[in-house]
Chains A and B, each alone.
Chain A
Amino acid sequence: MKHKIYQPGYRLIQLCLAGLLALSITTATAQDSSAAVDQVVAPKKVKPAKNTFQSIWIIDNQTVMVPIKGTLELDFQHRMGNVNNGSEDLWGLYGASANIRLGVNYAPVNRLNLGIGITKNKMLLDLNAKYAIITQTPGKYPVSATYYGNAAVDTRKEASLYDGAEMKHNSDRYSFYNELIIARKFNDHLSLQAAASWSHQNAVTGFYTSYDTSSKSYGDVYQSMEHEHFAVSLSGRYKFSNICSIIFSYSQPITSHSEYNPNPCLSLGLEVNTSSHTFQVFVTNFDKLNAQQNNLYNHNNPFKEYTTVNGDVVKGYQYLIGFNITRLWNY
């Protein structure tokens, strides 16, 4: 299996990796969210950092946060249509391409969160799991690290691949996602995280490049996309009041495909946190509401217009408005 590096974003990959390195080596200012650390009645026990992020989501990406044992969460996620149509569809708010995901998650034990969700796009059913490997603790771990993975299936009756080709086997419907997330809470205001992900699609389209009639043997296989796709992301939160934060996220593809190369994603939004809800409203490029679908098939270009090697012109600055709402119950 060979992988090519996505050249236009290589500089950004370097920046993301530098961010990851910085998160890993910085140890000077580890801090608990409680902040009540200087004068206490009894000697203080060192505790893991709390609320590195307020939600399991940061726009389209997962955060390192895993809810405490016994937490049931409902997710309501909505992505409007593209804003580029202007007032014609009220900047996408009434866009026909709007996408919705409903999900439910439960934390049966500490550190583990299990979930299921269904998305309008492709009627995609996903099962997901998240496990907190380590949690940032002063003097022990400078960062938190969490694994997130999901398996998704396209449940449409007449499912098709990314280029419109008919799916020939049920196994073509499946895709998988694995991600390692590393985050650091620098202080009560600023948290940053870097993540490396691996998406797998079971089916890609392609053809044999040659056929020898005498030996009846096929030549090399041309694949329009790779089965495996690697990407990195950098996300952050700046909390400017007790309940409000500015959130951002940037995702950069690493794998370069022969065709159908996905675009990076740039997102910026506002988060409001209450006792049982977290609300996030933002502009983003991702519209698929599933990690591997976003990373593999994002055709919204956040930057200026460009032309692919195949001569296709990709329009620039294609953003959409979206929101995430989570509702928590503790049992």
Chain B
Amino acid sequence: MKKNLIIPFLMLIVFFGATLMTAFTPFQGAKPWTVPDAAKSKKSSVASNAASIAAGKELWTTHCKSCHGAKGLGDGSKAAQLKTEPGDFSKSDVQGMSDGEIFYKISEGRDDMPSFKKKLPDEEDRWNLVVFMRTLKK
């Protein structure tokens, strides 16, 4: 093999290897996510109203929908590629969490779930997301 073909060939192996590993990685079940008590009891600075729900929905569409789905059912277009199951936010195991608990998880992230405290540095934006997520309850 010519010397100048070695690097492109290695890149192809790495690319396809990474793709295959991702394709055959099964979903991990929901593992415990411990939230500090102080975070759980943190109160929202945003009231639930049409404006905050609309603002939260806009952020949801931009940042969350691709994994969690339009209605939070965990059926977004990227959901199948995730190692961690994105969950069903319409159900009581999510809706039963305190506002502070949801806010903490949005802010800190874990595994596939990215941290949004740098991407959305204004806490009000993340509280708007919490307000919108409450509308996903069935």
The chain A residues found within 8 Å of chain B, CB to CB, are 33-42, 47, 50, 68, 70, 188, 241-243, 273-275, 330-331
Is there contact, CB below 8 Å, between B49 and A36?
yes
Closest to B67 in A: A275
Q: Is the interface of A mostly helix, strand, loop or mixed?
A: loop
| B-side contacts of A33, CB under 8 Å | 55, 58
Is there contact, CB below 8 Å, between A273 and B49?
no
Encode B96-138 as 1/0 by CB contact (under 8 A) with A: 0000000000000000000000110110110010010000000
Minimal beta-carbon separation of A37 from chain B (angstroms): 6
| B-side contacts of A38, CB under 8 Å | 49, 51
Is there contact, CB below 8 Å, between B121 and A68?
yes
Interface: B66 (CB within 8 A): yes
Is there contact, CB below 8 Å, between A36 and B118?
no
Minimal beta-carbon separation of A130 from chain B (angstroms): 19
In the bound complex, CA of A204 to CA of B49 (Å):
61
Minimal beta-carbon separation of B52 from chain A (angstroms): 4
A and B contact pairs by CB, cutoff 8 A, 30 listed: A33-B58, A34-B122, A34-B125, A35-B52, A35-B55, A36-B49, A36-B52, A36-B56, A36-B124, A36-B128, A36-B131, A38-B49, A39-B47, A39-B52, A40-B45, A40-B46, A41-B45, A41-B46, A68-B118, A70-B118, A188-B58, A242-B61, A242-B62, A243-B62, A274-B66, A275-B63, A275-B64, A275-B66, A275-B119, A331-B118
Minimal beta-carbon separation of A80 from chain B (angstroms): 26
Minimal beta-carbon separation of B136 from chain A (angstroms): 16
Encode B29-66 as 1/0 by CB contact (under 8 A) with A: 00000000000000111110101101111100111101
Is there contact, CB below 8 Å, between B55 and A34?
yes
In the bound complex, CA of A34 to CA of B126 (Å):
11
In the bound complex, CA of A70 to CA of B57 (Å):
26
Is there contact, CB below 8 Å, between A36 and B51?
yes
In the bound complex, CA of A40 to CA of B45 (Å):
7
In the bound complex, CA of A42 to CA of B64 (Å):
27
| A-side contacts of B43, CB under 8 Å | 41
| A-side contacts of B61, CB under 8 Å | 241-243
| A-side contacts of B125, CB under 8 Å | 34
In the bound complex, CA of A72 to CA of B40 (Å):
32
| B-side contacts of A331, CB under 8 Å | 118
Minimal beta-carbon separation of A190 from chain B (angstroms): 15
Partner of A36, one of B55, B62, B119: B55
Please provide the chain B residues from 64 to 114 with a CB less than 8 Å away from any CB of chain A in the complex.
64, 66
Given contacts A274-B62, A275-B66, contact A40 B118 (CB under 8 A): no
Q: List 11 additional contacts besides A34-B122, A36-B52; criterion CB under 8 Å.
A: A33-B55, A34-B52, A35-B51, A35-B52, A38-B51, A39-B47, A41-B47, A274-B62, A275-B62, A275-B66, A331-B118
| A-side contacts of B54, CB under 8 Å | 35-36
Is there contact, CB below 8 Å, between A47 and B51?
no
Minimal beta-carbon separation of B127 from chain A (angstroms): 8
Partner of B62, one of A35, A188, A273: A273
Is there contact, CB below 8 Å, between A330 and B55?
no
Partner of A330, one of B56, B66, B119, B124: B119
Closest 7 CB pairs of A and B: A36-B52, A242-B61, A330-B118, A275-B63, A34-B55, A242-B58, A36-B55
In the bound complex, CA of A330 to CA of B119 (Å):
6
In the bound complex, CA of A188 to CA of B55 (Å):
10
